[in-house]
């Protein structure tokens, strides 16, 4: 089983912003984040996303991110 890299996590979260992230990918993301402190720190800024990813089926999610979280994610990508 291949461990995802942090940049892949960020990329997947970006897809999620576009509503394209399936539930099994959410699981993969969580498996990575649980063992990766840098990603934990990053995801803290996306707390809303995280909660929705774990608790709500993808097709039922409302608009998950506020502008603030979106800007944080974009900033992370540009590093």
Residue 6 vs 25, nearer CB to Zn ion: 6
Q: Residue 69: which region, alpha, beta or left (left: phi > 0; alpha: psi -120 to 50)?
A: alpha
CB 29 within 8 A of CB 13: yes
Query: In whole angstroms, what is the distance from residue 17 CA to residue 71 CA?
Result: 11
Per CB under 5 A, which region of 21-29, 38-46, 50-58, 68-76 contacts Zn ion? 38-46
User: Going residue by residue from 39 to 68, which x/- string records binding to Zn ion, judged by CB under 5 A?
Assistant: x-----------------------------
Near Zn ion by CB under 5 A: residue from 17, 25, 36, 56: 36
């Amino acid at each position: 089983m291949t461990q995802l890299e942090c940049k892949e996590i960020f990329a997947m979260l970006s897809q999620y912003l576009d509503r394209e992230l399936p539930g099994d990918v959410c699981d993969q993301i969580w498996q990575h984040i649980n063992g990766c402190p840098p990603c934990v720190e990053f995801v803290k800024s996306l707390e809303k996303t995280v909660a929705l990813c774990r608790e709500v089926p993808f097709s039922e999610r409302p608009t998950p991110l506020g502008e603030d979280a979106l800007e944080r994610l974009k900033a992370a990508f540009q590093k």
